[in-house]
Chain A
């Protein structure tokens, strides 16, 4: 069963890589830009995570009544990347998100009472309601990645904010690439 899910995930990953390869020159440069940013972000996240060590262990001890595996899960999930970026007018999960998402999926599987909300966002270009739909597509793409790994649908909710809640205000590709995103937030851990 788990093996089946894994192979499905691999199939999706393969499709994603293929789709990324098929994108036009302009969106390839898009993805290159946002990959750079994702790298920078990962570095920042890593730096932030070392500082947040005390918070983690506190959370671990709060939850750690059952098994040590759960302690491990709780500690892991706070370190993980929670913002995932997308190419313009696309709702395809990028390969650099797979590792973090797989870990989130594992956490959700290990903690059946945990609930994640996936907030989908778009950049300011294009019409507002279309972007609302696009944001939902992105959130659902991430949701699908998690459910394919066996996470029950009841543990995931998707909400789209379209272009209404930009992370960065600005008309540059740098701002846009940070706004085309899905934010994973735990409603309950």
Chain B
């Protein structure tokens, strides 16, 4: 009835900007008991003008943030080798280091830069990695994150997720009935934050397409909720739903062709799936309770959702083909916003115990539930594409901030912002 599929660029009350933002800073609160010592030596650069980024500093910060590594202080380094033949392994061994990252930046054709890096095993005196990449001078930070990804993968066996991005919502109360909401995009380390949508009305539930090119979200810019899809690069957006009642919780299917969501157009909050190409909606749940917060299994065959059909909110899964519904959570009286790790083994959720909300993970094979966080009013967990970390929203004093916890609960850090509330983070997939 009210299905209007309008493609619009700029609304009256909002504008899309790509301005610089106050960046989120990292504050590590907990790491593993015995982090592996790694030295990242300042990269060589023979050019006349200074580089825009200190590559080795970015790499060291990335590795440190994973909580798995202890970084050697530059002041403690006896030498700054930039090539294999300059490395005296004995010095690094005596300095207590297990691994060594060295590299150099060189001018390349067309004003580009060539970044070469190597990873060495200090104890075995062996080169583990050696690669080079050519980038535009403005992309040095990206190159650094790429190096971090490769080093992390070599040392842990898990691909790094340092080259990814996060989207999140910020809000400020300006007056008694006056608010400012922004949808922001930043690198995974909080750097390069930029506004991609701004409005006086609520913005919520950002969700990435699996190719990382588009973001779906809910905006109240018309005074009523509607789901929009926005192209990350161009900022072009279109409204895909504007039904009477709820239009919420968009979640992209793994193949990118469908969008699961919550609509109450038929009277009750239910899960629907929109086929993006044909614009056909398919109703998935049928229950008089609240059904919301859909997310997809990795194979795209099932949807995980929150329902209070048993009296209190719990997490269920529904197999799309058969309609078979299964309850997944039983511990605690409030479990919501579930999402599965890529391997389908673990369910990450918001869990309430004794009136306190935390992020928890449940092993679906053993049924074991572990509470990962001890911060306050934790919500909106989003899993990194490599499954190692969960970013979530929490409270610090009277402000909402983002925090990260490793999936095993051993590593924790916060991304405090300088002003306003920051919430609802969504971790991007791997980006090309």
Contact = CB atoms under 8 A, between A and B. Distances in A.
Interface stretch (B115-123, B189-197, B243-251): B243-251
A139 to B, nearest CB: 10
A184 to B, nearest CB: 16
Interface string B178-202: 0100000000000000000000001
Contact of B380 (A128, A157, A171): A128
B32 interface: no
A129 B357 CA distance: 15
Tell me which of A124, A133, A158, A161 has the highest count of chain B C-beta atoms within 10 A of its own C-beta: A133
Nearest to B397: A171
A33 interface: no
A133 B223 CA distance: 17
Interface residues on A, range: 20 to 34
B290 A161 contact: no
Contacts of A137: 290
A127 B245 contact: no
Contacts of B262: 129, 132-133
A108 B204 CA distance: 33
Interface string B313-334: 1000000000000000000001
Nearest to B313: A130
B398 A171 contact: yes
B349 to A, nearest CB: 9
B246 A130 contact: no
B220 A161 contact: yes
A44 to B, nearest CB: 15
B293 interface: yes
B377 interface: yes
Interface residues of B, number: 38
Contacts of A149: none
A169 interface: yes
A127 B264 contact: no
Contact of A136 (B245, B249, B395): B245
Interface string B193-233: 00000000010110000000000000010011100000000
Nearest to B249: A129
Given A159-B224, A160-B246, A171-B395, A129 B312 contact: no
B380 A127 contact: yes
A169 B420 CA distance: 13
A136 B224 CA distance: 12
Contacts of A165: 179, 202
Contact of B173 (A26, A128, A160, A169): A169
Which 4 A-B pairs have CB atoms at the shortest separation, nearest pair first?
A164-B202, A133-B269, A133-B290, A129-B249
Nearest to B261: A129
Given A89-B312, A136-B269, A165-B179, A126 B398 contact: no
B292 interface: yes
Contacts of B362: none
B350 interface: yes
B398 A170 contact: yes
B62 interface: no
A133 B246 contact: yes
Given A132-B248, A132-B249, A160-B245, 6 more contacts: A129-B292, A129-B293, A133-B246, A133-B262, A159-B223, A170-B398
